[in-house]
Amino acid sequence: MKGLLKCCLPLLFLGIAIDANAQKLEAAKTNTVKPKYTGMKKPKPIRTELSAGLRLNTDGWGIFIDKGWVKSNEKFRDQFYNVKLFQIEFDEKKRPEETKHVNDAYAGTGTGKAKPFIFGKANNFYTFKLGYGGRKMIAGKPEQGNVSMHLIYLGGISLGLLKPYYVLSDSTPAKKNSTIYTRNDITYTDSTQASFLDKSHIEGASGFSKGLGQTKIIPGIHLKAGMHFDFAASKHGIVAVETGLNFEYYTSQILLLVNKDATSYFLNAYVSVQFGKRW
């Protein structure tokens, strides 16, 4: 009997230990709290941006649209370190010497209110530019709300639109040696030079549509470099100021003012503001 008891006691203790361990495992399973599924996904990385703005140049003004693509697939792509840019821009070129005049001699006459005109202006010059380049962050974010600084550079083709500038003048005699003058829209040419530069006979600028059919297309190229400052509080917004230099070269000489030399290139400084979004 004692021998049987000695053999059974170890088996009894082993069974008690196995049962206790099983109870502990069951309790652990029961007390484990499973994380709740919230249904929220990680935000998608930013890949694209679109913005538009107004640009003031030392030789005119412009409007533009920027389309950008985040260039790298690195971990910090949402911090906009490197962006490819495609830009569409429309500008008007002006000479700093351009000033508007009003000939008060025609005010209150049968011709109506005197219209302002730019004395000596030979042509309006507009540019349509397509540019490709990049923007690289050099300081600022990643923290949202911080101002970020970027280097911007791009270049591309430019199409110049040269439109003759017309004024309404009564400096042409109706007949030879006549004291009666006819009113005509004239632009600057060799034959109209004297009348065009006779300020006392200019009633005012002709309508914008005058001369559209004579517009010439002049191809060229442009290069741009500057600093871009982004003030947006959110990584999904764009609120930026940009300043830099722009160079343009055209295949023909451009005459803007009669008393100034024609030129085929333009160099200006600019400042712009732009707004947009990223997604």
- Report yes or no on 2 lying in a domain: no
pLDDT value for 11: 47
Half-sphere exposure of residue 258: CA atoms within 13 angstroms, side-chain side: 19
Give the residue from 129, 86, 133 showing the smallest Cα distance to 266. 129
Q: How many domains does the chain have?
A: 1
102 part of a folded domain: yes
Are 55 and 272 a contacting pair, CB within 8 Å?
Answer: yes
Residue 15 lies in a domain: no
Those residues whose C-beta lies under 8 Å from the C-beta of residue 99, and which sit 6 or more positions away, are: 118, 119
Residue 4: predicted pLDDT: 45
Q: What is the pLDDT of residue 5?
A: 46
Evaluate whether residue 118 is within a structural domain: yes
DSSP 146-157: S-EEEEEEEEEE
CATH number, domain with residue 201: 2.40.160.20
Domain around 152:
49-278
CA distance 203 to 169: 6
Residue 24 lies in a domain: no
Q: What is the pLDDT of residue 255?
A: 97
- Residue 93 located in a structural domain: yes
Using 50 as the pLDDT threshold, list the residues of the chain that sit under it. Answer: 4-5, 11-12
Quote the DSSP letter at residue 258. T
Tell if the pTM clears 0.95, that is, is over it.
no
Q: Express each pLDDT in 127-157 by its tens digit.
A: 999 999 999 988 876 666 788 999 999 999 9
Task: Note whether residue 262 is domain-resident.
Answer: yes
